[in-house]
Structure 1
Amino acid sequence: MNGILVLNKPAGMTSFDVIAKLRKKYKQKKFGHAGTLDPMASGVLVVLAGSATKVLPFLTDTDKEYQASIALGAKYDTDDVFGTVEQTREINPDFDFEATLKSFVGKQHQKVPKASAKKINGKKMYDYLRSGQEVPEVYTDIEIYDIKPIDENELSFDVSCSSGTYVRSICRDFGEKTGNLAAMKSLIRKKANGFTLDEAQEIDAPEHTFYPVQRVLNLPEVQAENPADIRNGKTIVLENKNDRVLMMDGDQVLAIYERKMPGSKVFRSARGLW
């Protein structure tokens, strides 16, 4: 079983739970996912199966879209309402919801939640938290492309952002900007790696549709003159303006090839995909 599988991950399952279930269903070990989704979140989870697992380092469209909601009045160690309450405070309702959301648009140095899988000195941040150790403060560079309110009463919103963005951090920081304590109440991933929630399939479906790897690579296709050379990873000469191409044998994907050096017509194998 090879290709790209797009699932609507249900809340309550980890991304690894999904992979384990697919391995059992299809009786093969080669499954991986592009972008972890928090256990209590639902929505688009892009899964790579079989030879498609090889394309993970070459994914280019890694931007995401989410729908989320905010809970005010308490601070949690996880920055969502599924963690442990660390502090409570009376809610300050005197703020402009839309204007505060819009203040997040742009590039920023975002503080990573303490309960995250990001590694510090080889150890995941949530492992520091669970063991009662002091969790180092870590920041990451991200970009919010757009953010807009859905329901002011529910404090729900849509956000389009770069890979690596923590929506939990947006909710926590919303509290700081409005004089409140805040955490994320719910999260749905609506888009990932170019796939939308409308395309996502249920994990318990009897059968699944698998997409070809071309769908996530967004690379120009070049028909191989000698497919055997491509399979053997030989360098080739190409008249092509692109620095990276997808070598094909008819409809079959053979490999990703890249320019050997700037200005050169010589291309080398970056990754075999057969």
Structure 2
Amino acid sequence: MEGIIIVDKPAGWTSFDVVAKIRNLSKVKKVGHSGTLDPIATGVLPVFLGSATKQIDRFLNGDKGYLAEMMLGIKTDTGDADGKTIATVTGKRFTGQEIEKAFEKYRGKIKQVPPMYSAIKIKGKKLYELARKGIVVEREAREITIHKLELIRPEGKRPGSELIAGLVDGWPVPLETDYQRVVFYVECSKGTYIRKLIEDIGDDLGCGAHMTRLVRTYAHPFHLSQALTMETIVTLAQHGQLATVVIKPEEVLTHRSDESERSPLSIGNGEGQRGK
């Protein structure tokens, strides 16, 4: 069995957990993935089997799309809800216009300092290994591109994509609390850390922030509409049908997407089928 399975990674699983499970189900020794997702995140995770693993590098440079939720007023050590609270600011609430103003500086080409909780290596050590020991080191800012950064809640645009609209509708609007939740959609280049983007926006607003939800809706050229849940993958494997959902790399590489396919989940007046 050789090719690519597009997985909708469940929350709580590491990307390695998904690879290990598919390796066990497929009985294929060589299995890998492109584009690591944090355990808290869900969504598109391309998994490569057999000789297709040689093609992983060809898929790493593609743009990504995410639906994200952040909580203003609470900072954590990891930048997401899995971390420990390190600072709080209560009672601050912002209008959609104020949040939109904070978004402006992050559109286009920007410099982003990678978070300490990341797999980037400095002097042979992964940053998250140092962070777990309480060690913070200087990191060099990297150039990334934010193609789109669009506010959904509060007072933002209604998603034009039925897929994104459905995802947002599944995220209940919380009752009024000391901490405000903000939902947005972002399309970005490889190497963009959404956790860090959220932390930086929170700092600009003067209250701090952390990521509470993240769905990768798109990982060029793969869309969330193509992705299979782990439950479906397990069922297919049990019935000897896993090979029926494996995509051949050459089928993907010979397909040149146009701009509308690159960003199928735009918030505007809704092109799109769902993706990433």
Secondary structure at 2:218 match in 1: strand
> What does the per-residue CA deviation read over 1:133-188, in whole Å, with 9 as the maximum and x for residues that have no partner?
23333422110000111221741000000000000011101112211111111100
Match of 2:206 among 179, 198, 201: 179
Secondary structure at 1:56 match in 2: helix
Unaligned runs of 5+ in 1: 221-274
Q: How many correspondences in the alignment?
A: 220
> What does the per-residue CA deviation read over 1:76-130, in whole Å, with 9 as the maximum and x for residues that have no partner?
1111121111122234324512232233111111011111111111111010011
Match of 1:98 among 88, 97, 100: 100
The CA distance in 2 between the partners of 1:215 and 1:83, in whole Å, is 40
1:214 maps to: 250
Once the two structures are superposed, the pairs formed by residues 161-240 of structure 1 within 5 Å of their partners are: 161-205=188-232, 206-207=235-236, 208=242, 209-218=245-254
The CA distance in 2 between the partners of 1:211 and 1:71, in whole Å, is 37
1:254 maps to: none
User: Aligned AA for 1:74?
Assistant: I
Secondary structure at 1:204 match in 2: helix
1:56 maps to: 56
**Structure having the larger proportion of residues in strand:** 1
From the superposition, tell whether residues 20 and 116 of structure 1 become closer, same or farther in structure 2 (CA, over 3 Å).
Answer: same
Residues 92, 178 of structure 1: 8 Å contact kept: no
| Root-mean-square deviation over aligned CA pairs | 1.8
Identity of aligned residues (%): 40
**Structure having the larger proportion of residues in helix:** 2
Match of 2:116 among 109, 114, 124: 114
Unaligned runs of 5+ in 2: 155-172, 174-180, 237-241, 257-276
From the superposition, tell whether residues 216 and 131 of structure 1 become closer, same or farther in structure 2 (CA, over 3 Å).
Answer: farther
Higher relative contact order (CA 8 A, sep 6+): 2
Residues 30, 49 of structure 1: 8 Å contact kept: yes
The CA distance in 2 between the partners of 1:51 and 1:187, in whole Å, is 31
From the superposition, tell whether residues 155 and 94 of structure 1 become closer, same or farther in structure 2 (CA, over 3 Å).
Answer: closer
User: Aligned AA for 1:23?
Assistant: R
User: Aligned AA for 1:63?
Assistant: D
User: Aligned AA for 2:99?
Assistant: F
The CA distance in 1 between the partners of 2:22 and 2:7, in whole Å, is 11
Shift of 1:193: 2.6
User: Aligned AA for 1:150?
Assistant: I
TM-score in terms of structure 1 length: 0.76
